[in-house]
Structure 1
């Protein structure tokens, strides 16, 4: 397979797309890691085969990072020049945290995943202060003393979808920056990324890429405040003319914050991201939330608006495991997550185990 190409029929519908997976029944744990579609898996195997025998140079693998960047920008609906690539959410947040002046006040949910909490807390010795409140009180807690609001688009432990527009509106009313970790939402939940100052996403969950690929949207006004402390050859205006020697010659856009890409992660990422774009996030959201609500209804719970749900059923972890259902346990509750390769049969298998 040519790793530089992965084409799908225009306007691929979700039913046809599901033919690109063949998961073992009972995978309800995309919130931990996503399963690659066949084109992504085959592209990765082809690249690994090339690497094993030294069949090619590395430039073709590196080009997949740019292909992935373009696809990610398309998913978010933002200019490709506003996207930087890296490896983890916290690494992408690091230059923002490092740029905060002493006395900065950060507001975040108490339940926030620590990749979007520790970077701010680590600046405490410099005088950066972090205040946490319950996630459902985040918007009302933004005040005149708030300089930056950091939160997850979808909460990792519970699947709760943030009041994104309300939090952004409150932050703008008080002149605060908005930093969003969309790792648990990007890939199934449409949102207006350009409303934030920064959006970070790890790609190994709902974007179904190998772990080691991550992306960030950095608004131009925010980039002006940041120092690219991890500057490297790939962050150069022309990476292939940036191998050796001074002067500093970094890209003028968000690429100046790039890490040199982990090749094979992006080889797998590009086809997966392009497939998501072919299907369309609204259709994926409808499918995912419908399955999540089927699961909730089967347990007598009210419907929700998320692809991630949590339930507190006695012995649930053991009962699901015995039935071959793979889910997660977060904050003492079973967490089930549903993506485009999930089926009603997966849901019913889990319900049979829990009833």
Structure 2
């Protein structure tokens, strides 16, 4: 595949200079149009809600294919911390959880709130993380791609080390899914917020929950949507939950899911491998132009004096943390975006 000449389909309308997908992704046209149509129907009461809800199952099935797992093992929810909460609540008293020392708190706080029953959250540097997976660690929790600096974890190596000590493998793949190919079945739990690289509205998310995990976890957020037949679970006893990961579903906010399904379908149609190659080409061109070594991530960081002021003057939208620029490149990013950002930072 010649990524240097590949042009993404004209399905986005970004203002030039958007290099901040690590904060939120931009919707492809099918997702945007689907949401507008659904909200127009809502405004006038033109239809019932079941059609909006059907998008949830469509999105679940595409997500499962994107990460190589069975749709029956995927639960839907709203945010990473909410999706991880039942897993954390099921930990035995006194359990030890290992996280990277710069881990985004959506994969830290759900574990840390159980300190009153002896759950300990231990931290390790990214460079020393693999060596910190030792007997006595019960959960190995980490981001597949770090939000702060774009560092890509070695999922296979970490999973193997965790299995060797009997630890649960919990991955926050929010900053990876949609651009980085990976095998979700290497983990026990994969939680993903869809509003970044999956280019979906904020408020939709997924969790791969391996069957061996579900046997240990109570669906503490269960409601009617977690029922074996949701439409037959509106009222009263007995408890009648789904036999698969749908028992952990959160009743969906309709409109985010109306936009999520077509956004994921666009990613599947293009192909994650193609998106990955496109994103890396642009990210590494950006690094090289600024005198940095190329890397393996669509999220890159560079230290440039007065970066925020330089980017703002040029109309470039990227994250700036403590003077360092975090730029993130996705399918709608272009060479012109790279040129404008480099010119601004070198100016």
TM over 0.5: yes
What is the aligned partner in structure 2 of residue 226 from structure 1?
217
Gaps of 5+ in 2: none
Quote the offset at 1:17 in angstroms: 4.1
Determine helix, strand or coil for the equivalent of 2:128.
helix
In the TM superposition, what are the counterparts of 1:127-138 in structure 2 within 5 Å? 127-138=118-129
2:35–2:255 contact (8 Å) kept in structure 1: yes
Q: Aligned equivalents of 1:121 and 1:200: distance in 2?
A: 17
Q: What per-residue deviation string (whole Å, max 9, x for no partner) do you get for residues 314-338 of structure 1? A: 0011101110100012354210000
What is the aligned partner in structure 2 of residue 335 from structure 1?
326
Q: Aligned equivalents of 2:79 and 2:13: distance in 1?
A: 28
Q: What per-residue deviation string (whole Å, max 9, x for no partner) do you get for residues 140-175 of structure 1? A: 110011111000000001001012111111101111
Determine helix, strand or coil for the equivalent of 1:180.
strand
Quote the offset at 1:189 in angstroms: 0.3
2:76–2:248 contact (8 Å) kept in structure 1: yes
In the TM superposition, what are the counterparts of 1:59-70 in structure 2 within 5 Å? 59-70=50-61
Q: Aligned equivalents of 2:130 and 2:102: distance in 1?
A: 15
Q: Aligned equivalents of 1:341 and 1:245: distance in 2?
A: 48
In the TM superposition, what are the counterparts of 1:127-166 in structure 2 within 5 Å? 127-166=118-157
Which of the numbers 65, 68, 71 marks the counterpart of 1:77?
Answer: 68
In the TM superposition, what are the counterparts of 1:1-355 in structure 2 within 5 Å? 15=6, 17-330=8-321, 332-355=323-346
Q: CA RMSD in A?
A: 1.0
Determine helix, strand or coil for the equivalent of 2:166.
coil
Gaps of 5+ in 1: 1-13
Q: Aligned equivalents of 1:321 and 1:18: distance in 2?
A: 28
Quote the offset at 1:21 in angstroms: 1.0
Q: Aligned equivalents of 1:56 and 1:36: distance in 2?
A: 24
TM-score normalised by L of structure 1: 0.95
What is the aligned partner in structure 2 of residue 7 from structure 1?
none
Q: Aligned equivalents of 2:85 and 2:320: distance in 1?
A: 28
Determine helix, strand or coil for the equivalent of 1:18.
coil
TM-score normalised by L of structure 2: 0.97
Q: Report how many residues are paired.
A: 342
